[in-house]
Structure 1
Amino acid sequence: MTTLPGPWGAVLYDTTTTHVRTAPRRRTFRHRGYLWLVDLDRLPVLPAPLRPLARFLPPDHTLTRTPALTVRQELARQLADRGLRLGRGQVLMLTQARSLGHLFNPLTVYWCHDETGRPLCTVAEVHNTYGGRYRYLLPPDPRGRGECAKEFPVSPFFPLDGRYRMVLPEPGPRLRLTVHLDREGTRAFTATVHGTGRPASPAALLRTVLTHPFATWAVSAHIRYQGIRLWLSGLPVHPRPGSCRSDPKPVEEVPTS
């Protein structure tokens, strides 16, 4: 079991996220922010004066958006449907917390372990700006690699096709995640998240929030701003499927690369 440091048993990562779109038109942008690495059994509960800066609420991190199930309970049920027994194994979640009344997570990652501490699977949860969420399940891989067909709409400027190639190693002091989208034999899009971690504490959180004020709002604003720029440049918008919200079977099992 990994014991996360600090008085809250969590890690804060100062991050740089880079998006590189190469087809049909090249466009690059990056933004800075921060992410939390937390243990689902020990979600941080901050002192009352700091709670507006970070809260972990079940509706924010479950597909059903209901407080009836904890994040862990919902995830365990979905893994059981795929024949994976989580039991009392540890689950680490990399995510944003609700801050100043707002939350948007383009990508949440869960590293799941069995009761002996061995890696069980990695779950990549993708969100879109329409309020939809979808989970891809990757079997264990020493380098955190996985590959899967795209099953869920994210950008309105890409159709619902292609394959993801993900590299999502469990983070330590450093965070390095990569998601590629390949379409028609071409690497159409790459997203990377790089960061440096430190134990989460009141001082660390205040420093992070002052360095990246309104970070959760900024993520949404960056994505929408870039979308407007692409639309104004003449890039065609693909119609949304009938439902962009969570799929009724929201964990898609995928093979390793």
Structure 2
Amino acid sequence: MEILYLICSVFSTLLASLALSLLLPFRVLLRRCFSPRASSSSLNEATTLYQGTVWHERRRPVQHSFRYQVRYALFDLDRGTHAPPDHYSADEARQITHTTGPVLLLTVPPSVGYEQNPLSVYYCYDVEGSTRHLKKCIAEVTNSPWGERVSFVFNPHSDQVAKALHVSPFMDMHGNWNIKTSDPGDKLTVAISVLHPQLGNYFNATLKAKKVRSSSLGSDHALFFWLMPHKVAVWIYWHALQLWWKKVGFVQHPRYASPTYKEEALIRDQKLQCCGANAMGLSADDVPQNRQFRWRDAKWPWS
């Protein structure tokens, strides 16, 4: 039943995206003709575009690596209403991180009716006088094909978080995520590695991107991100197929084998918070005392 649903979902998404893609030039033309100039200016001021490369490397139990080009948007959640739905608002992010300044959201926006976003990052700032500094971040991790999500607070300079989501059917739930990100400017970097009790540091994923000067794009961000989520999905499923071909063991979703995996992740993360600061050279103030783990369950028919 689940496989049949996945096949039907793929075909329905293809048909919907094809229809919306054919309509996209007309929508862009109408927007250029009738949208107020002030609206376009507001959109550009509230959104920064980035283009770069995502790189994945798995070292064990087999060697497997790949890279692909990706485009991201950085939304200023306080300056516009153009951020994609199904994410935190600026006030919600500030409440979760106990910050007082601006909130920026790095994400891949939906395109022609489809969304595929393995990782979104909220950059939460504090303001002191006329300056601001990046204090905390929120990671929002979504898995495929289940559409489950977990979000948690982390220290952007360097942090270690208990793995709290079944991201891939070729990875178990053991181990921790090492995560860090730069303050987004002309360039940005997000790096994640998986530290496993048996396999060691066996997986790395890195996003490196540069700011795109959007003056030539006007308000046509829909063209800039055309089919970007679809390309991400193709890479996810294509490389899952390659791992299966290389005979990497398939890991069943933990809700069947260990229904309490969320509680277990919380316990492991509490131990990290108690013991991990000294090991990583962090002060107690740098380690979030409450990760604010929040899960979103799978939708039908995966639930």
The two structures share one fold, judged by TM-score above 0.5: yes
State the TM-score, normalized to the length of structure 2.
0.64
- Residue deviations 1:35-70 (CA, integer Å, cap 9, x gap): 01111112364xxxxxxxxxx3332x25xxxxxxxx
What SS does the corresponding residue of 2:231 show, helix, strand or coil?
Answer: helix
Q: After TM superposition, give the deviation of residue 21 of structure 1 in Å.
A: 0.8
Please give the alpha-carbon distance, in whole angstroms, between the structure 2 residues aligned to 1:178 and 1:230. 22
What SS does the corresponding residue of 1:228 show, helix, strand or coil?
Answer: helix
Contact 1:17 1:192 in 2 (8 A): yes
1:15 aligns with 2:52: yes
The count of aligned residue pairs is: 221
1:36 aligns with 2:69: no
CA RMSD in angstroms, aligned pairs only: 3.0
Contact 2:94 2:103 in 1 (8 A): no
- Residue deviations 1:101-141 (CA, integer Å, cap 9, x gap): 1111111111111343343311111111110111231136x
State the TM-score, normalized to the length of structure 1.
0.75
> What letter corresponds to residue 44 of structure 2 in structure 1?
P
Identity %: 25
Counterparts of residues 71-220 of structure 1 (less than 5 Å): 71-77=89-95, 79=96, 84-87=97-100, 89-116=101-128, 117-129=132-144, 130-139=146-155, 144-183=157-196, 184=198, 186-201=200-215, 203=217, 206=220, 209=223, 213-220=226-233
Contact 1:175 1:195 in 2 (8 A): yes
1:231 aligns with 2:249: no
Change (3 A) 1:92 1:188: same
Name the structure with the higher helix share.
2
Q: After TM superposition, give the deviation of residue 26 of structure 1 in Å.
A: 0.8
Please give the alpha-carbon distance, in whole angstroms, between the structure 2 residues aligned to 1:206 and 1:57. 15
Higher RCO, 1 or 2 (CA under 8 Å, sep at least 6)?
1
Q: After TM superposition, give the deviation of residue 99 of structure 1 in Å.
A: 1.3
What SS does the corresponding residue of 1:7 show, helix, strand or coil?
Answer: helix
Contact 2:55 2:207 in 1 (8 A): yes
Q: After TM superposition, give the deviation of residue 225 of structure 1 in Å.
A: 1.1
Contact 2:44 2:219 in 1 (8 A): no
Q: After TM superposition, give the deviation of residue 6 of structure 1 in Å.
A: 8.0
Please give the alpha-carbon distance, in whole angstroms, between the structure 1 residues aligned to 2:219 and 2:235. 22
What SS does the corresponding residue of 1:114 show, helix, strand or coil?
Answer: strand
Q: After TM superposition, give the deviation of residue 194 of structure 1 in Å.
A: 0.9
> What letter corresponds to residue 76 of structure 2 in structure 1?
D
Please give the alpha-carbon distance, in whole angstroms, between the structure 1 residues aligned to 2:181 and 2:67. 19
Which has the higher Rg, Structure 1 or Structure 2? Answer: 2
Counterpart position of 1:222: 235
Gaps of 5+ in 1: 46-55, 63-70
What SS does the corresponding residue of 2:252 show, helix, strand or coil?
Answer: coil
> What letter corresponds to residue 119 of structure 1 in structure 2?
L
1:57 aligns with 2:81: no
